[in-house]
């Protein structure tokens, strides 16, 4: 499969609106019109409950993992697999049908699980520790994205650029959360 086609397929996989489809199937409101307006597991948890949020989380993890698995199965190099991650995350952040996607955290983790499970484990542990003490999902996500390039440099240096760019996009996508954190208005669990 040509590289450009692989990247395009990854983008399309990332564009699948998991939260919207799951909420629609469960008879819930569109998460883009409720709560924070974000079609991700955290907002679905607040607006649709734990079952819908769990399914959304699994679907978002799955589409990231599926994109990387496709790259692995086509014999793509490790670096190309990293760019496939970025394409899938861009699809989640900026889906082709609306350009109104989620924050990309779960999709990135799904990719990380196949690209480098030790890196994914570090991401999960850091996110969990920060959430445990702060009870703020966005803070845990932002901090994890900020530290991921360091983890990548230490564990999988060949993927440093794709992970760094992905991390920067995740932080930028959380800009409204950063403003709320600074002003003390961010939601806690």
Tens-digit pLDDT profile for residues 2-23: 999 999 999 999 999 999 999 9
Average pLDDT in the 84-94 region?
98
Q: In a 10 Å sphere around its CB, with 0-12 CB exposed, 13-18 middle and 19+ buried, how is residue 2 labelled?
A: exposed
pLDDT of residue 6: 98
Residue 132: inside a domain: yes
Domain that holds residue 54: 3-183
pLDDT over 90, % of the chain: 93
**The predicted structure's pLDDT at residue 99:** 76
Report the alpha-carbon distance of residue 148 to residue 167 in Å, rounded.
7
Which residue bears the tokens 């489809």? 21
Measured between its terminal Cα atoms, the distance across the chain in Å is 44
143-178 per-position pLDDT tens digit: 999 999 999 999 999 999 999 999 999 999 999 999
Instruction: Report the C-alpha gap between 47 and 160 in whole angstroms.
Output: 36
Q: What tokens appear for 188 in the block?
A: 């806690």
Backbone angles phi, psi at 100, to 5 degrees: -120, 80
Question: pLDDT-based confidence at 106, cuts 50/70/90?
Answer: very high
Query: Which two three-digit tokens encode residue 64?
Result: 């990231």
Residue-averaged pLDDT of the chain: 96
Task: Report residue 106: phi and psi, to 5°.
Answer: -70, -40
Tokens 């920060």 correspond to: 130
pLDDT surpasses 90 at 87? yes
Cα distance between residue 132 and residue 125, in whole Å: 10
Residue 189: which of 122, 125, 141 has the closest Cα?
141
pLDDT for res 189: 87
Distances (CA, A) of 117 to 38, 59, 155: 27, 19, 10
Domain presence at residue 70:
yes
Instruction: Confirm whether 189 is domain-assigned.
Output: no
Distance (Å, rounded) from C-alpha 189 to C-alpha 174?
17
Looking up tokens 């019109």 gives: 33
Please give the tally of structural domains in the chain: 1
């Amino acid at each position: 499969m040509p590289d450009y086609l692989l990247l395009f397929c990854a983008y399309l996989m990332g564009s699948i609106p998991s939260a919207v489809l799951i909420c629609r199937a469960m008879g819930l409101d569109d998460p883009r019109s409720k709560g924070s307006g974000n079609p991700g597991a955290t907002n679905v948890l607040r607006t649709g409950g734990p079952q819908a949020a769990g399914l959304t989380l699994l679907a978002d993890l799955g589409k990231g993992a599926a994109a990387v698995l496709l790259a692995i199965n086509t014999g793509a190099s490790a670096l190309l697999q990293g760019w496939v991650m970025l394409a899938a995350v861009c699809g989640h952040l900026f889906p082709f049908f609306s350009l109104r996607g989620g924050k990309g955290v779960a999709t990135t983790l799904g990719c990380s699980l196949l690209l480098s499970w030790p890196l994914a484990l570090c991401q999960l542990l850091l996110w969990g520790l920060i959430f445990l003490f702060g009870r703020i999902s966005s803070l845990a996500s932002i901090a994890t994205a900020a530290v991921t390039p360091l983890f990548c440099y230490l564990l999988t240096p060949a993927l440093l650029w794709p992970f760094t760019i992905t991390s920067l996009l995740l932080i930028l996508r959380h800009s409204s959360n950063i403003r709320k954190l600074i002003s003390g208005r961010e939601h806690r669990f």
